[in-house]
Amino acid sequence: MKKRLWLVAVLLLLLVGCKSGPPKPTPTVSPLMPMQAVSPLRLPVASEGKLQIPRPRPGLAVVTGKFVQQMKGEPVAGTTVYLGAVEQVDSTRGFSVASLNPATAQFTTTEQSGIFIFENVPPGRYALIYRNAFDTYLARYSTGKDVVFDATDGQTVDLGQIDVPEGQ
């Protein structure tokens, strides 16, 4: 008899507890900061509509170049370009080893004309690396040579035209 009474009491408590409905959500404060809109890099444009290459600041360099599609010769716009750290260059075999940390590496985006400009580049040896929606690539000239260069104090480095293979 005590078992039945105990069972009825438990069932009664469960039924009463279910009638009140689901608990109401309580507001919480997110630890994340709200996202802020980031405007795309706007490069200086001269009155003729051509991009102006800025002068290097003291102790720094400026790096520029142009991405074009290898087969069509058309500019490649909207490509994210990074300056990667050169780990090793083997000129006898024609390859380089570079590392990239996208969270800390200096980067820019190619304009409609395919031109990119890096300002305030500290002196050092760099590899040009680019990304698309699918992968990351070490940039190469049409000759097959990796785009590896030295930036020095007060220098403007023009890497020239860099051909991007179809699909990259």
Domain boundaries, the chain: 61-164
3 state DSSP class of 31: coil
> What's the half-sphere exposure (Cβ side, CA atoms, 13 Å) at 166?
3
CATH number for the domain formed by residue range(s) 61-164? 2.60.40.10
Per-residue pLDDT, 20: 52
Please report, as a single letter, which amino acid is at residue 14.
Answer: L
Low-confidence ranges of the chain (pLDDT < 50): 23-48
In this predicted model, what pLDDT tens digit does every residue of 63-86 receive, in sequence order? 999 999 988 889 999 999 999 988
Q: Which helix (H) or strand (E) holds 11?
A: helix 2-19
CA dist., res. 1 & res. 23, Å (int)? 35
Angle made by CA atoms 37, 65, 156, in degrees to the nearest 5: 100
pTM higher than the cut 0.75: no
- Whether 55 and 150 have beta carbons less than 8 Å apart is answered as no
Tokens 């069972």, located at residue: 7
Q: What is the mean pLDDT of the chain?
A: 77
